[in-house]
Structure 1
Amino acid sequence: MSKLPQQLNKAFFAATALFLVGCSNTRFVPEGDYLYTGASINILSDSLSKSKKTELKNVLEASLTPKPNASFLGLRPKLYIYNITSEPKKDKGFKHWLKYKVGEKPVHLSDVDIPFNLDLIENTGENRGYFNISASYDTLPKNKKVKIKYNVSPRTQYLINKVTFPTDSTVLSTEINKTVDKTLLKVNEPFNLEVIKTERERIDASLKENGFYYFDPDNLIIQVDSTEVKHKVDLNLKVKNNTPELARKQFTIDKIYIFSDYNLRSNRNRRNLVRADVDTLLWKENSYIIDPKKKFRPQIYDRALYFKSGDLYNRSNHNLTLSRLINLGTFKFVKNQFVLTDSLSNKFDVFYYLTPNDFKSLRLETLGKSNSASYVGGEVNFNWRHRNFLRGAELFAATLYTAIDFQLGGNKDANNIYRVGSRFSLTWPRIIAPFKFESSSAFVPRTRVELGYEFQNRTQLYTLHNFNASFGYIWKENALREHDLKLIEITYVTPENETAKFEEQKADNPSLARITERQLIFGPVYSYTYTTTMLPKKHTFYYKGLLDLSANLTGLISGANADQEEPKTILGVPYSQYVKMEHDFRYYLKLDETSQIATRFIGGVAYPYGNSIHMPFSKQFFVGGSNSIRAFRARTLGPGSYDPRNDKSSFFHDQAGDIKLEANVEYRKKLVSFLNIAAFVDAGNVWLFNDEEGREGGKISKDFLSEIAVGAGIGLRFDFNILILRTDLAIPLRVPYYPKGDRWSFNEINFKDKYWRRDNLMLNIAIGYPF
């Protein structure tokens, strides 16, 4: 039999199977009923514009209930799973999970309350200004399935003719009239009940900023009069007559009490026992701190409390104070209470109840790992933290770690890697600087000092000592924007015990000398992050930009230049001079509740000049691996068209570049509650600015686009809420070190060939999403 008839037969059987799955749901429908497959809105109007019809149609369809069973390519697999799974005997177990978590209960015509939907359509239309709207319906049954078509006659939409606000001379009315220029109720705009509700909330928010602590949006009423002008309404905003007297008053702050060591149980009635005794410290005028054990220095509240005695209450300072107290990271629970003390003078006291976290914590972390360079190993971390190190909510963190990597298999000689190191950091919840730094953000600005050291031993080859230190600031404008400025970051790397074997390797491959060269790097590093990914929107973005400078001013003063025979030194160590920039853009498109398209583009440039011919190895760019171009091993791709198969060294080493371009596209689909699937395409490479002996083809040229690597694959994500385990299987589609004209590798794909699978199938196992 020829291949064509075989393929046609397979296609026929596949189509038949899909058809049977799609139709088989109807055999479970009870006699006399139908499977409900959805509803549509048919707008009957010659006067409405196309855009108005579309807008009204979308609003009305979104309000209809119930929603039909979920479908995929016209099929309803979740419903089918529910139907074929017998009723479980228990409310737990696999069968219960399969039927009620994976499966989906059928929606029948008998479940649809058509009169209710008709009323809902008319009410929704009236709330949009279509006061004379009417609706009817038709059922469209077919093969035990049914759709419902609602025919809607909206007629004329009423517009706003006039808006009036309170005109009396009370303090409340005066404050309301101050907001008139920001009103959402515009003349000649359509009447919309949702806009009216939002207007009430807008006025309430403005009043809350001006002392009206007890006011509520429900204290406002907006009267609608449609008798003055045809197809138009007059809106009259009023304060309800039954509004409580307290809601009509502006309030100021009298006394402030801060319980720094509040216990939810033992201090339940402590507010009633406040007195000026040894437990109470008068911090400022009418402001008191209750901290018997002197756990905190009062200065921490200077930058956290935005209220002071005599201030007019406003909600922004109320929320900002709570946010800052929480953001200190020292308190487990933060709550406050406003207590009316003098209704005649409109004053109340403020109480802040702060329950500290455990200041000290010790955590042991163990990690097992493997990578695509045939290394397996483990790491042990001891982490000690103190959240109130100097009694000012300072965070001190110390980490001691040791790690080992063994090479198993592969085509290189075994060279195990041992690492031992430590990291120390101290973070103050304020900006320590000779200048004044003001921030009205809900996030506390911070000053951080970091120190670190790592000893690395690559057996039979070399050992390295790596020292680093930094001082800088971290602050957030808001939840979307964050700045990280290290005024100075210093890295010093020095080698020790380079073996004869490694010296021999360097002779064959001069680029290896870069790994163990002495390095002194110092300068500022600044990064800026903007993200909307936490917002429930269809389109969200992430951007992180980085600027890294080293010895720019020092090189200028010392006259360092590329023509000098020997580089300038500090204490006998050549210092690196460069400018480095990196930009990471990400865009996420939410297709529906279960699927998303995620994209990323990374561009980076690191330019050595003056005292440096090459970038320091630790500051260069790398690609490949589980979070980059997944069809290639980590840090083995590039630079340019360099062919790693010609590498004569006896061990795997990282391939680095001065320029980086990378792009990724990933489609993500949720299959069941904990299982997601993804399909992805990755592309990119790194290049050098200058030629390097032993890495031919690595320098960037005008043909750099022809050296872009491309890979694609599929993956599974196991989302267990606290942990996301990711597996990605990828294959190379374009290999930059193949001869020009033959770099696309589609014709080499052969899943039946075990040698091809060994060399080209890359399985990446990782934690979390790649981007």
Structure 2
Amino acid sequence: MKRLLAKILLFFLTFLLIISCNAVKRLEPDQNLLVKNEIFSNGEKVKDPRIYNRLSQEPNARILGFPLKLQFYNLARPNIDSILSKKYLNNEQKKNRLIALLSKKQFDRYIHSKVEFNQWIKRTGEAPGIVSEEEAKKSENRLKSWYWNNGWFNVEADYTIVPIEDKTKRARVEYYVNPHQPYILDSIYTEISSQALDSLYELHKSASEIKSGIQYNTLDFNEERDRLSQLFRNNGVYNFDQEYISFDADTVNTNHKVNTTLIIKDQRNNIGDSISRTPFKIHNISKVNIFTDYTYSQRNEKLEDSAQFEGYNLYSFEEMRYKPEAVSDAIFIKPGSIYRDTDRTRTYNRLNALRVFKYPDIQYILDPEDSTSTDLISNIFLTPLPKYSLGFDFDVSQSNIQEFGIGFGGSFLIRNIFGGLENLEVSGRGSVASSTDAAASTDKNRFFDITEVGADLKLSLPRIFFPLETEKVIPKYMSPFTNISLGFSTQRNIGLDKQTFAGIFNYAWKPSKKLSNSLDLLNIQYVRNLNTENYFNVYRNSFEELNNLARESNFNFDDLSENPVLEIPNEADEFINYVVSDNTPDTGLTREEFFNVLDISERKLRLTENNLIFASNYTYLWNTRESLYDKEFSRFRFKIETAGNLLSLLSGVVSYEQNEQGNNKVTGVAYSQYAKTEVDFIKHWDLGRDRIFAVRAFGGVAIPYGNANSIPITKTFFGGGPNDNRAWQAYDLGPGSSGSILEFNEANMKLAFNGEYRFGIIDEFKGALFVDVGNIWNVLDNVNVPAYKFEGLEDLKELAVGSGFGLRYDFNFFVLRFDIGFKTHDPAQPQGARWFRDYNFSNAVYNVGINYPF
């Protein structure tokens, strides 16, 4: 195997060497391929990528040092028309033979397809970056411009084209910059014609982006222009625009100082051919008119209904369908207040979040009753969405549990159900699938032997539903919602089978576009296992170990064969009781083997017990990504959850029933009690030219206490899979150095770190190189196996490392992803033999996923 890999690598390197010599085959004799740009400032090499981005010409993009797109471009024939003419069009014998074979029309299409394919190769590839005096001069001027805009007004620049001596027809360009002494901002004066604007400026001048004593930067002046425009428009100056702001900079005989004058002229008025100027004024909102059911076709019809609430005027072309207080609560433009751009923006955002109206139209006009021309009337036109909406979805899936699955669902949305802009959504879902494990099925003759059905009910209220006033803590501009949901699902013939009941009382609010908060005041889950007798059919590894221990013991099998097998479930349970019972005589097992049986017993008990979770949780999410097309952004998520505390407090009032372990039970089920926290950070850097570097760091821990000594399996962590450590299958990694001996490995602590370099290959095909680091452990729970537990920082040496590469295809609305992960550091291997032990294709893990992993 090693010889084969060596041969493949040698062939690949030889192939790269041969085709790299052809990178310049399309160049003319007097042309050179640009291989590198270098910039020197005062003799020192510049490393700032912002400066290199100013150059008008860059070398061809490379993937692992190889110019793939250039090589693909070189596959195109530069003189395709003459080649086709000579080969087909001017060769009458060949031409006539093809026309007789194909037809004239198909022959023309054949010739056209040759031309189109050649053009596609050129479009998909990348033309050679040819060293050009014109482009170098343009880059020199751009460098001067960059330094000038950053305060070096006397900058000098030059360049030199340097041929590469040991490579044919290749060259680099060296740029030499002498910035000289930078200019510093000194005095800042103002010439503001309007008294109203001058007063606003003086009140907020401390927040200015241009300050005395700092180096001149053109971007600071642009940001100051943006700041002043927002300042004025959010303080009543309705008709202000950035074009009224200008700066005058004086650098004559100032000893490298810049004396700046901020100039803001009066409002310009065009009357016929003449232009006049009038001072800007502070505008107030005199009236707010809300048209709740406006459509363009109704614009000239008579209004049939109206209402007033706290100064708002509401009108309707039909009978009013909305409570006035609910609609006005979504409007931030208040009668009697000054005009603010932020009020309009917040109104747009809030109305869109309600999902009751189409995108609203907000207009301002001068109040004809005001002689001073300072009062504004705000007209808000709302067009209702349909009261009822029906949706359907369908999907096909595959996993480690099912070979093939079909899912389907539907939802029914009722808008404004109680007249206060509330939405009620009823949804149902179902699926059928074929299992991968015959043990999961009770009917071996059926192809679809797995079923799941579920239903959910969700009511969304556009306010914080709470007995006390919350406006001061969560003001309405944060777009608060109260969400109440109920859900039920049942699974049959899949593992242990189960029924799940859930109820959530949630608050959600967004202080800004980047920040969102979610608080589950109460999150109740009840999980009932229906087929616990099937446990050892599902968890076969546990059963095999149990059966081997039974053979080594003094247990009397019902099976009298040479290699007896425990009957499932009765005899398997009998053997566990036989070993762990205090009344059992000598079992013939060692102390270690006894604890192995005890571990199997405790795991079975935990995975087959019903769960009752009364939890509360809070999630903080900071996300700078504004759309799917953002390439550079940060995302930080923090979540904290506690469960069982409310029921524990009631134990002093309510007399709970207890189970055999001494845990309190509610409705016959021992309730879970734990504290759980998660921290997740993602950062993407845009490196330019379709290259992105992305990292993720995740840490989570869940600690049981009080009424529980373990975590419900639905709240634990797992490692591996296409969105985690891609060198291991999902649930195959960890815990610790145990070597994933169980079917579904989970634990209550997790660390994960990922790094990925993404790059364009050809057209919509993308490539990636990645490194994934992480593992799961048990900590402060009832697991006592040392290999599973995290006992100190020394256990960080059990972090698993996976590395590999991937190929993706971008469909714009989603990305189809294929990754190959190799076990680089495997903590399951003996110490000293963990690095690159199974680093080969035969032990690699192949992942298929939708969209990027993080």
TM-score by length of 2: 0.76
Residue from 420, 435, 438 that aligns with 1:407? 435
Question: Relative to structure 1, is the Cα distance of residues 165 and 505 closer, same or farther in structure 2, using a 3 angstrom cutoff?
Answer: farther
Residue from 675, 696, 706 that aligns with 1:600? 696
Equivalent-residue separation in structure 2 for 1:689 and 1:243 (angstroms): 72
Determine if contact 1:623/1:686 at 8 Å carries over to the other structure: no
Deviation at 1:471, TM superposition (A): 0.7
Question: Relative to structure 1, is the Cα distance of residues 664 and 414 closer, same or farther in structure 2, using a 3 angstrom cutoff?
Answer: farther
Determine if contact 2:818/2:846 at 8 Å carries over to the other structure: yes
Equivalent-residue separation in structure 2 for 1:621 and 1:428 (angstroms): 33
Determine if contact 2:639/2:677 at 8 Å carries over to the other structure: yes
Code of the aligned partner of 1:630: R
Question: Relative to structure 1, is the Cα distance of residues 54 and 182 closer, same or farther in structure 2, using a 3 angstrom cutoff?
Answer: farther
Residue 767, structure 1, aligned to residue 792, structure 2: no
Identify the residue that residue 526 of structure 1 maps to in structure 2.
618
Identify the residue that residue 112 of structure 1 maps to in structure 2.
134
Code of the aligned partner of 2:22: S
Deviation at 1:213, TM superposition (A): 1.5
Equivalent-residue separation in structure 1 for 2:787 and 2:173 (angstroms): 66
Code of the aligned partner of 2:73: Y
Give CA deviations for 1:22-66 in whole Å, capped at 9, x if unaligned: 442333223544445565544459xxxx7xx959x8766543424
SS at 1:331 equivalent? coil
Code of the aligned partner of 2:330: A
Equivalent-residue separation in structure 1 for 2:138 and 2:119 (angstroms): 32
Determine if contact 1:640/1:736 at 8 Å carries over to the other structure: yes
Deviation at 1:566, TM superposition (A): 2.9
Determine if contact 2:194/2:266 at 8 Å carries over to the other structure: no
Please list, as runs of the form range in 1=range in 2, the aligned pairs for 1:73-112 lying within 5 A after superposition: 75-86=66-77, 89=112, 95-100=118-123, 102-109=124-131, 112=134
SS at 1:194 equivalent? helix
Code of the aligned partner of 1:549: T
> 741-750 vs 444-453, which deviates more?
741-750
Code of the aligned partner of 1:24: N
Residue 487, structure 1, aligned to residue 513, structure 2: no
Identify the residue that residue 331 of structure 2 maps to in structure 1.
305
> 464-473 vs 35-44, which deviates more?
35-44
Residue 219, structure 1, aligned to residue 310, structure 2: no
Determine if contact 1:300/1:392 at 8 Å carries over to the other structure: yes
Please list, as runs of the form range in 1=range in 2, the aligned pairs for 1:543-558 lying within 5 A after superposition: 543-558=636-651
Question: Relative to structure 1, is the Cα distance of residues 744 and 158 closer, same or farther in structure 2, using a 3 angstrom cutoff?
Answer: closer
Code of the aligned partner of 1:541: S
Deviation at 1:690, TM superposition (A): 4.1
Residue from 584, 594, 598 that aligns with 2:680? 584
Give CA deviations for 1:472-518 in whole Å, capped at 9, x if unaligned: 20112222222211111112233446548445555554222323323
Question: Relative to structure 1, is the Cα distance of residues 768 and 16 closer, same or farther in structure 2, using a 3 angstrom cutoff?
Answer: closer
Give CA deviations for 1:385-408 in whole Å, capped at 9, x if unaligned: 234333333232222222234333
Please list, as runs of the form range in 1=range in 2, the aligned pairs for 1:258-277 lying within 5 A after superposition: 258-263=290-295, 265-267=296-298, 270=299, 277=303
Residue from 234, 247, 253 that aligns with 2:285? 253
Deviation at 1:103, TM superposition (A): 0.8
Equivalent-residue separation in structure 1 for 2:573 and 2:393 (angstroms): 37
> 534-543 vs 254-263, which deviates more?
534-543
Identify the residue that residue 754 of structure 1 maps to in structure 2.
none
Residue from 799, 813, 821 that aligns with 1:730? 821
Equivalent-residue separation in structure 2 for 1:7 and 1:623 (angstroms): 32
Residue 201, structure 1, aligned to residue 230, structure 2: no
Give CA deviations for 1:724-762 in whole Å, capped at 9, x if unaligned: 222233344455555x437627345564xxxxx3xx443
Give CA deviations for 1:328-379 in whole Å, capped at 9, x if unaligned: 2223322322223347331222222333333433232222222235643232
Identify the residue that residue 200 of structure 2 maps to in structure 1.
175
Code of the aligned partner of 1:430: R
Residue 344, structure 1, aligned to residue 372, structure 2: yes
Identify the residue that residue 28 of structure 1 maps to in structure 2.
26
Identify the residue that residue 215 of structure 2 maps to in structure 1.
190
Question: Relative to structure 1, is the Cα distance of residues 199 and 576 closer, same or farther in structure 2, using a 3 angstrom cutoff?
Answer: closer
* Structure 1: tracts of 5 or more residues without a match: 752-756
Determine if contact 1:287/1:308 at 8 Å carries over to the other structure: no
Question: Relative to structure 1, is the Cα distance of residues 314 and 154 closer, same or farther in structure 2, using a 3 angstrom cutoff?
Answer: same
Identify the residue that residue 229 of structure 1 maps to in structure 2.
254
Determine if contact 1:663/1:682 at 8 Å carries over to the other structure: yes
Residue 448, structure 1, aligned to residue 539, structure 2: no
Equivalent-residue separation in structure 1 for 2:801 and 2:66 (angstroms): 34
Identify the residue that residue 360 of structure 2 maps to in structure 1.
334
* Structure 2: tracts of 5 or more residues without a match: 81-111, 270-276, 443-448, 535-567, 577-599
Code of the aligned partner of 1:524: S
Residue from 516, 520, 531 that aligns with 2:608? 516
Deviation at 1:10, TM superposition (A): 7.2
Equivalent-residue separation in structure 2 for 1:770 and 1:106 (angstroms): 34
Q: What root-mean-square deviation, in Å, do the aligned CA atoms of Structure 1 and Structure 2 show?
A: 3.9
State the structure with more CA Rg: 2
Determine if contact 2:450/2:491 at 8 Å carries over to the other structure: yes
Q: How many residues align?
A: 737
Deviation at 1:293, TM superposition (A): 4.8
Determine if contact 2:304/2:316 at 8 Å carries over to the other structure: no
Equivalent-residue separation in structure 1 for 2:170 and 2:797 (angstroms): 54
Equivalent-residue separation in structure 2 for 1:477 and 1:659 (angstroms): 31
Determine if contact 2:735/2:747 at 8 Å carries over to the other structure: yes
Deviation at 1:543, TM superposition (A): 2.7
Code of the aligned partner of 2:753: A
Question: Relative to structure 1, is the Cα distance of residues 274 and 44 closer, same or farther in structure 2, using a 3 angstrom cutoff?
Answer: farther
Question: Relative to structure 1, is the Cα distance of residues 682 and 376 closer, same or farther in structure 2, using a 3 angstrom cutoff?
Answer: farther
Question: Relative to structure 1, is the Cα distance of residues 109 and 341 closer, same or farther in structure 2, using a 3 angstrom cutoff?
Answer: farther
Give CA deviations for 1:669-715 in whole Å, capped at 9, x if unaligned: 3323422223333430232644469x895455457446544444332
SS at 2:329 equivalent? coil
Identify the residue that residue 470 of structure 1 maps to in structure 2.
504
SS at 2:24 equivalent? helix
Question: Relative to structure 1, is the Cα distance of residues 337 and 502 closer, same or farther in structure 2, using a 3 angstrom cutoff?
Answer: farther
Residue 422, structure 1, aligned to residue 420, structure 2: no
Equivalent-residue separation in structure 1 for 2:135 and 2:825 (angstroms): 57
Please list, as runs of the form range in 1=range in 2, the aligned pairs for 1:113-128 lying within 5 A after superposition: 119-128=141-150
Equivalent-residue separation in structure 1 for 2:440 and 2:312 (angstroms): 74
Residue from 141, 154, 163 that aligns with 2:188? 163
Equivalent-residue separation in structure 1 for 2:451 and 2:735 (angstroms): 27
Please list, as runs of the form range in 1=range in 2, the aligned pairs for 1:7-22 lying within 5 A after superposition: 17-22=15-20
Identify the residue that residue 563 of structure 2 maps to in structure 1.
none
SS at 1:292 equivalent? coil
Determine if contact 1:623/1:685 at 8 Å carries over to the other structure: yes
Equivalent-residue separation in structure 2 for 1:60 and 1:749 (angstroms): 41
Deviation at 1:164, TM superposition (A): 0.9
Deviation at 1:313, TM superposition (A): 0.8
Deviation at 1:529, TM superposition (A): 1.9
Give CA deviations for 1:56-81 in whole Å, capped at 9, x if unaligned: x8766543424453344554332232
Deviation at 1:207, TM superposition (A): 1.1
Equivalent-residue separation in structure 2 for 1:707 and 1:671 (angstroms): 35
Equivalent-residue separation in structure 1 for 2:36 and 2:740 (angstroms): 58
Identify the residue that residue 363 of structure 1 maps to in structure 2.
391
Equivalent-residue separation in structure 2 for 1:129 and 1:544 (angstroms): 40
Equivalent-residue separation in structure 2 for 1:709 and 1:126 (angstroms): 50
Give CA deviations for 1:173-225 in whole Å, capped at 9, x if unaligned: 22233332222232233333332333232222211122111122221232223
Residue from 765, 777, 797 that aligns with 1:675? 765
Equivalent-residue separation in structure 1 for 2:161 and 2:344 (angstroms): 55
Equivalent-residue separation in structure 2 for 1:7 and 1:571 (angstroms): 65
